Structures are given as C-alpha cells and as structure tokens.
Amino acid sequence: MAKIMRRRYYFNTVENKYIKSETIVSTNIIEEKEDQKKIVNQENNINNNICTINIFEDSSERTGGSVYYAATFLCEYLLSIRHEFKHKCVIELGAGTGLCGLLLYHLKAKQVVLTDCDHMKLLNSSKLLQEEGDDNIKNEKILIEYYNWMVPNEISDTFPTEVDYVIASDVIYDASTAETFLNAIQYLCSNKYKSKPPKIIVSHQPRLSGVDDAFYEKLKDDCNFILNQIEPIHGNPVANLFELIYDPTVKKNRKSVFLRMYRVIFQEIFFTFFKISLFKFNFRQK
Ligand SMILES: C[S@@+](CC[C@H](N)C(=O)[O-])C[C@H]1O[C@@H](n2cnc3c(N)ncnc32)[C@H](O)[C@@H]1O
C-alpha cells in the first residue's frame, strides 16, 4: 500500500552540505489527479545560503520510493560543482524520487530528464511541485521518462538529442542491476549519444561485495569506460563517488568476458544439480 508523503530537503549552499529533511504534509495526491495542480509549492528556492527542494516520497517497500543516502551524498557533490551544470542537459538514471535531478533543475540546468522503470506517478507529482511559478514550463525543463536498463535501446522519442551528463545514485545493489546499469550507460554512450558521449557521475553505497565485484569486473572487461574516483568534499565512510568517461579505444578484455560467462554457466549448472539432489533427498525422507 503506497503511503505518499511530501518531504522537504535542506542543503547549505555555502558548505555544499545536506542539512536535514522533514515531512511537510501527508497526502495522496497521486490518487487525486484533478487536484494535482492545486497542491503546489512556492517554497523550492535557493536563498540565504539554504536550498530547499520539495518532493514526494512513497514509504511503501518498493525500491526507490524514498530518498537513499547515496542521493543526498550525490547532491552535496553536485552543489559543489554546480557551475558545471548551468545550461547543461542532464539525464538521471534510476531516479527514484528524482531528488538529485530536481536539485539540478533549481541549479539552472537547461533540462533534466528523470528516468526510472517505476515511480512515474511519484516523479510526475514532484515535477509539478517544482514548476509552480516557472514561466519556462513549456520549455520542458523537467522531463519524466520511463527507461528500463534491461532494454537499453528502447528509448522514447522525447529524449533529448544531446546530453552533457548522466547522473545516478544507489543504482548498483544486486547482481542484475550491476549488469543492466552498465549495459544501459554503455548503450547510451556508444549508440544514442555516440557523437558526444555524456559524462557519467555515480554515487554508490557498497553493500554486498559480490555485487560490487561483478560491477567492477564487467566495467573492466566488457565496457569502454575509464573510471575516475572522486574525493568527496566532506569525506565519507559509507558511500563513494566516481565518474565514468566513455572512451571507445579502451580495450575490452574479451578473454575474461568468456571466462566470466563460463563461470556463470557452471554455477547455474551446479546449483541446479544441487537443488535436484536436495529435492530427491527430501522426497526420499517422506
Ligand atoms: C536504490 S533505488 C535509488 C533511488 C534514487 N536514485 C536514490 O538514490 O534515492 C534504485 C532505483 O533504480 C531503479 N531501477 C532498478 N532497476 C532498474 C532498471 N532495470 N531500469 C531502470 N531503473 C531501475 C529502481 O526503480 C529505483 O528507483
């Protein structure tokens, strides 16, 4: 059951630091579409060295309905290099609530495209919260787009033709996302935006070493990216930041791709035999 909350995030724009977030009012505007325009917000702004961003969150258990730690961590970094985003076009992958992309909208990016394979209603509602009072709404400065990394070539026609940055926070958290996220950014840089590949900025909270190993192995063996670690301004024991620069001349390690593939196939066969043996054993016991 979705529980929609309106939340406000505070950032210090001098220290480039996340301060706090608070719940403003509980509402299920997602269900009351005709009322959406009425629930607007005049309080997204940057002044007195404080930047406040209002969004909606869904506290049910679906991944991405709330803001993850890596997102506020990424926001701090984006604030610290905010001049880079002025008049630039940015895509956020696995946006969830879209906090990072929406911050860039307020930092005067030319266009932010918030994408996910879920949370479309949530993102659309948050988009409405930002746009109140903005005369440039017709310029589509915030776009909400469905984009699923599992089918990276299925891209809506409304995606921008040129993109400067792709940002993502907490998008590598299981074996499947480690693989599919890389497929998606590889596709975007080598196909869709081939003529001018965007810079990728990722904020990552390591949890399972197996997942991280799979990610870094695939990145090394099967992709054309150079990874640059970014030193966080306030230091951080929990998450890390890196940028990925697409370079088609980076050699893929094909041999190791095959080794990895054989290893996965071998593991699958082993586990299938194991499950069958276990099943037979249980059956005999009965
Ligand atoms: C852990 S959440 C992080 C959300 C947000 N970036 C944050 O840091 O607060 C991961 C997000 O990735 C999205 N995601 C997972 N698999 C995806 C896929 N195959 N295609 C697109 N988005 C995906 C989820 O829907 C979710 O919103």
The domains of the chain are located at 65-252
What is the distance in A from the centroid of ligand 1 to the CA of 249? Answer: 30
Within the chain, residue ranges assigned H as helices are 69-80, 99-106, 120-131, 175-187, 209-222, 254-285
What's the whole-number mean pLDDT along residues 276-284?
Answer: 74
59, pLDDT greater than 50: yes
Q: Rounded mean pLDDT of 220-229?
A: 95
Query: What pLDDT, on a 0 to 100 scale, did the predictor assign at position 41?
Result: 41
Superfamily for the 65-252 domain: Vaccinia Virus protein VP39 (3.40.50.150)
The contacts of residue 49 (CB under 8 Å, 6+ apart) are 12, 13, 14
pTM: 0.85
Q: Which pLDDT belongs to residue 134?
A: 65
Average pLDDT, stretch 22-42? 52
Asked if pLDDT for residue 47 goes beyond 70, the answer is no
Ligand 1 binding site (Cβ under 6 Å of any ligand atom): 63-64, 67-68, 70-71, 94-97, 116-119, 148-150, 169-171, 173, 177, 180
Q: Is the pLDDT of residue 30 over 50?
A: no
* Nearest atom of ligand 1 to the alpha carbon of 180: 19
- The rounded distance, in Å, linking the Cα atoms of 98 and 52 is 14
**φ, ψ for residue 22 (rounded to 5)?**
-145, 155
